[in-house]
Amino acid sequence: MPVYTAEALILRTYKLGESDRIVVFLTRDRGKKRGVARGARRPRSRYSGALEPMTRAGVAYYERELRDLVRINYVEPVASPLSAIGSIDASAAGFGHVGYFAELIDEWAQEAHADERLYRLGSAMVDALAAGAPIDRLARYFEYWLMRLQGVYPSVSACPACGQPLEAGAMMPPREELFVCRRCAPSGAGTELSPEALRFLRASSRTAPERVDGLTLDMRAGRELETAHRRLLLAHLDKELKSVRVLREMGR
């Protein structure tokens, strides 16, 4: 039975029996895996503090052919946003978004299919969170890049209907996953994107995650992007994520 070592992101865990956990993790070179961590729920488990969402770690595991679950040998934490409570912007919101980022990666990552760009994006979020990046800007940045890497983010440069530049703002029509200019948009319907929101997206396309605090995003534009991104994610995932409901409740 071969043993593999990998750099990985911990995404989520589930209870298994009285003392074990199933761990979902994304490796850099072999894609998403699910494995059993024996004794992970015991009070003095060697996995204590190593299985939190978005922890970057060295993982060793055994894998057998035709088996859905691997057997985890060890998890060695390297970096975790949850270990830097004082650095995470607005701790409760920061913790909520850690779970949100992990769930989004889990939904998009394919089993055993290597996607180094997705891994690098997730790893960069760990560093940005630990460095105290503004959580709202980081969330909109992450959503944009995640969908862009998957090839489903609509153009933010030109209207697909008439070809004119989207300089004066845009609209996302009902039941559509694209941005059109105001002239081509149905009257009074859809999700509005102001010029400020579009400028944030264009700037995000050429900005590294650790520099997201240098991007400008006012409250109104942030809410516009949050609404548009929720619509896009719901359309492409065909469900609302549990972490989205948690964030909505926290916002109340």
For the ranges 23-27, 45-49, 169-173, 199-203, the lowest mean pLDDT is seen at: 45-49
The pLDDT of residue 250 is above 70: yes
Highest mean pLDDT among 108-112, 133-137, 148-152: 148-152
* In CATH, 133-252 is 3.10.180.10: no
pTM of the model: 0.91
For the ranges 53-62, 87-96, 167-176, the lowest mean pLDDT is seen at: 87-96
Determine contact, residues 164/179, Cβ cutoff 8 Å: no
Count of other CB atoms within 10 angstroms of residue 126: 22
The pLDDT of residue 118 is above 90: yes
Alpha helices in 131-179 (DSSP H): 135-149
Domain segments of the chain: what residues?
133-252
How, if at all, do strands 3-16 and 56-62 pair? antiparallel
Please tell me the predicted confidence (pLDDT) of residue 84: 56
Please tell me the predicted confidence (pLDDT) of residue 252: 60
Count of other CB atoms within 10 angstroms of residue 247: 18
